[in-house]
Amino acid sequence: MLKRILIGILCIIVAACMLLPAVLTFAEPVGDMSQEDETKEEKSDSNRLTVLFEHDMHSHLERFPQIATVIKETKKVDPDTIVLDGGDFSMGTPYQTIFRNEAAELRMMGFVGFDVTTLGNHEFDYRPQGLADMLNRAVAASQEDRINFD
Protein backbone atom coordinates (compact mmCIF):
# COMPACT_ATOMS: atom_id res chain seq x y z
CA MET A 1 0.00 0.00 0.00
CA LEU A 2 2.81 2.42 0.92
CA LYS A 3 4.55 1.62 -2.36
CA ARG A 4 1.42 2.60 -4.33
CA ILE A 5 1.10 5.86 -2.40
CA LEU A 6 4.75 6.74 -3.05
CA ILE A 7 4.37 5.92 -6.75
CA GLY A 8 1.27 8.12 -6.87
CA ILE A 9 3.12 11.01 -5.24
CA LEU A 10 6.03 10.56 -7.64
CA CYS A 11 3.63 10.62 -10.60
CA ILE A 12 2.10 13.86 -9.34
CA ILE A 13 5.56 15.44 -8.97
CA VAL A 14 6.60 14.34 -12.47
CA ALA A 15 3.32 15.60 -13.94
CA ALA A 16 3.81 18.95 -12.19
CA CYS A 17 7.32 19.24 -13.67
CA MET A 18 5.97 18.43 -17.12
CA LEU A 19 3.21 21.04 -16.79
CA LEU A 20 5.50 23.72 -15.41
CA PRO A 21 6.32 25.23 -18.82
CA ALA A 22 2.60 25.47 -19.65
CA VAL A 23 1.71 27.08 -16.33
CA LEU A 24 4.51 29.61 -15.87
CA THR A 25 5.31 32.48 -18.18
CA PHE A 26 8.91 32.41 -19.25
CA ALA A 27 10.79 35.60 -19.95
CA GLU A 28 12.75 35.85 -23.15
CA PRO A 29 16.27 37.20 -22.77
CA VAL A 30 16.32 40.81 -23.85
CA GLY A 31 19.67 42.01 -25.07
CA ASP A 32 18.87 45.55 -26.27
CA MET A 33 17.18 47.10 -23.22
CA SER A 34 18.53 50.50 -22.37
CA GLN A 35 19.44 51.28 -18.76
CA GLU A 36 16.37 53.50 -18.47
CA ASP A 37 14.00 50.75 -19.71
CA GLU A 38 15.63 48.19 -17.41
CA THR A 39 15.07 50.41 -14.37
CA LYS A 40 11.47 51.04 -15.41
CA GLU A 41 10.92 47.27 -15.85
CA GLU A 42 12.23 46.48 -12.38
CA LYS A 43 10.19 49.23 -10.70
CA SER A 44 6.96 48.42 -12.53
CA ASP A 45 6.79 44.72 -11.61
CA SER A 46 8.54 43.87 -8.37
CA ASN A 47 6.57 40.61 -8.04
CA ARG A 48 7.88 39.19 -11.30
CA LEU A 49 9.53 35.78 -11.26
CA THR A 50 11.57 34.58 -14.20
CA VAL A 51 12.03 30.82 -14.53
CA LEU A 52 14.20 29.17 -17.16
CA PHE A 53 13.37 25.47 -17.54
CA GLU A 54 15.33 22.84 -19.43
CA HIS A 55 15.08 19.06 -19.55
CA ASP A 56 16.27 15.97 -21.43
CA MET A 57 19.76 17.16 -22.30
CA HIS A 58 20.93 13.53 -22.58
CA SER A 59 24.63 14.42 -22.26
CA HIS A 60 24.64 16.88 -25.17
CA LEU A 61 27.38 19.02 -23.68
CA GLU A 62 27.69 21.01 -26.90
CA ARG A 63 24.41 22.77 -26.03
CA PHE A 64 25.79 24.39 -22.89
CA PRO A 65 27.32 27.46 -24.59
CA GLN A 66 23.89 28.46 -25.93
CA ILE A 67 22.24 27.73 -22.60
CA ALA A 68 24.91 29.79 -20.83
CA THR A 69 24.18 32.72 -23.15
CA VAL A 70 20.43 32.57 -22.48
CA ILE A 71 21.02 32.38 -18.72
CA LYS A 72 23.52 35.26 -18.77
CA GLU A 73 21.30 37.52 -20.88
CA THR A 74 18.19 36.73 -18.85
CA LYS A 75 19.97 37.39 -15.55
CA LYS A 76 21.06 40.80 -16.86
CA VAL A 77 17.38 41.71 -17.05
CA ASP A 78 16.25 39.81 -13.94
CA PRO A 79 19.09 38.87 -11.57
CA ASP A 80 16.69 36.76 -9.50
CA THR A 81 16.01 34.36 -12.37
CA ILE A 82 15.66 30.73 -11.32
CA VAL A 83 17.19 28.11 -13.64
CA LEU A 84 15.72 24.60 -13.41
CA ASP A 85 16.54 21.25 -15.00
CA GLY A 86 13.84 18.58 -15.19
CA GLY A 87 16.13 15.55 -15.32
CA ASP A 88 17.49 13.13 -17.90
CA PHE A 89 20.65 15.19 -18.15
CA SER A 90 22.78 12.07 -18.62
CA MET A 91 23.00 9.28 -21.21
CA GLY A 92 22.58 9.62 -24.92
CA THR A 93 26.00 10.60 -26.29
CA PRO A 94 29.54 9.22 -26.08
CA TYR A 95 30.33 11.94 -23.51
CA GLN A 96 28.47 9.94 -20.85
CA THR A 97 30.24 6.72 -21.81
CA ILE A 98 33.71 8.25 -21.96
CA PHE A 99 33.34 10.45 -18.87
CA ARG A 100 31.06 8.10 -16.94
CA ASN A 101 32.46 8.92 -13.51
CA GLU A 102 33.31 12.57 -14.14
CA ALA A 103 29.77 13.99 -13.80
CA ALA A 104 30.41 16.27 -16.76
CA GLU A 105 26.75 17.22 -17.13
CA LEU A 106 26.32 18.25 -13.50
CA ARG A 107 29.56 20.15 -13.52
CA MET A 108 28.55 22.05 -16.66
CA MET A 109 25.19 22.86 -15.07
CA GLY A 110 27.10 24.38 -12.18
CA PHE A 111 29.33 26.39 -14.52
CA VAL A 112 26.46 27.96 -16.45
CA GLY A 113 24.27 28.77 -13.45
CA PHE A 114 21.59 26.13 -12.91
CA ASP A 115 19.97 26.43 -9.49
CA VAL A 116 18.13 23.10 -9.29
CA THR A 117 17.94 19.76 -11.04
CA THR A 118 16.01 16.59 -10.48
CA LEU A 119 16.68 13.01 -11.47
CA GLY A 120 15.11 11.45 -14.54
CA ASN A 121 15.05 7.78 -15.44
CA HIS A 122 18.37 7.91 -17.32
CA GLU A 123 20.27 9.03 -14.26
CA PHE A 124 19.64 5.49 -12.95
CA ASP A 125 20.99 3.70 -16.04
CA TYR A 126 24.19 2.82 -14.18
CA ARG A 127 22.15 1.65 -11.18
CA PRO A 128 22.09 3.38 -7.78
CA GLN A 129 25.82 2.91 -7.26
CA GLY A 130 26.62 4.56 -10.60
CA LEU A 131 24.35 7.49 -9.74
CA ALA A 132 25.95 7.78 -6.30
CA ASP A 133 29.43 7.79 -7.89
CA MET A 134 28.37 10.54 -10.31
CA LEU A 135 26.83 12.69 -7.57
CA ASN A 136 29.82 12.22 -5.26
CA ARG A 137 32.21 13.16 -8.07
CA ALA A 138 30.21 16.29 -8.86
CA VAL A 139 30.31 17.39 -5.23
CA ALA A 140 34.00 16.61 -4.85
CA ALA A 141 34.92 18.40 -8.07
CA SER A 142 32.80 21.50 -7.48
CA GLN A 143 35.42 23.28 -5.37
CA GLU A 144 38.19 22.35 -7.78
CA ASP A 145 36.06 23.54 -10.72
CA ARG A 146 35.38 26.90 -9.09
CA ILE A 147 39.08 27.50 -8.47
CA ASN A 148 40.04 26.53 -12.04
CA PHE A 149 37.13 28.47 -13.57
CA ASP A 150 37.92 31.71 -11.73
Q: Which residue has the higher pLDDT, 83 or 22?
A: 83
Sheet with 51-54, edge to edge strand ranges: 51-54, 82-85, 116-117
Residue 61 DSSP class: G
53-99 pLDDT, tens per residue? 888 888 888 888 999 999 999 999 999 999 999 888 888 777 666 76
Region 15-38 average pLDDT? 51
H/E element holding 7?
helix 2-23
| 54 in Cβ contact with 86 (< 8 Å) | yes
| 80 in Cβ contact with 50 (< 8 Å) | yes
Q: Where are the domains positioned within the chain?
A: 25-149
Region 132-145 average pLDDT? 80
From the candidate CATH numbers 3.40.50.2300, 2.40.70.10, 3.60.21.10, 3.90.1150.10, the one assigned to the domain spanning 25-149: 3.60.21.10
Whether the per-residue pLDDT at 142 is higher than 70: the answer is: yes
The residues, ordered by sequence, that sit 6+ positions from 93 with a Cβ below 8 Å of its Cβ are 58, 59, 60, 61
Report how far residue 130's alpha carbon sits from residue 20's, in angstroms, rounded to the nearest whole number.
29
Q: Virtual CA dihedral for 54, 60, 63, 67, nearest 10 degrees?
A: 30
* Nearest-10 crossing angle of helices 64-77, 104-112: 30
pTM metric for this prediction: 0.61
Query: Which residue type occupies 117?
Result: T
Q: Virtual CA dihedral for 98, 102, 108, 113, nearest 10 degrees?
A: 160
104-128 pLDDT, tens per residue? 888 888 888 899 888 888 888 888 8
Most confident of 45-54, 80-89, 135-144: 80-89
Share of the chain above pLDDT 90, in %: 15
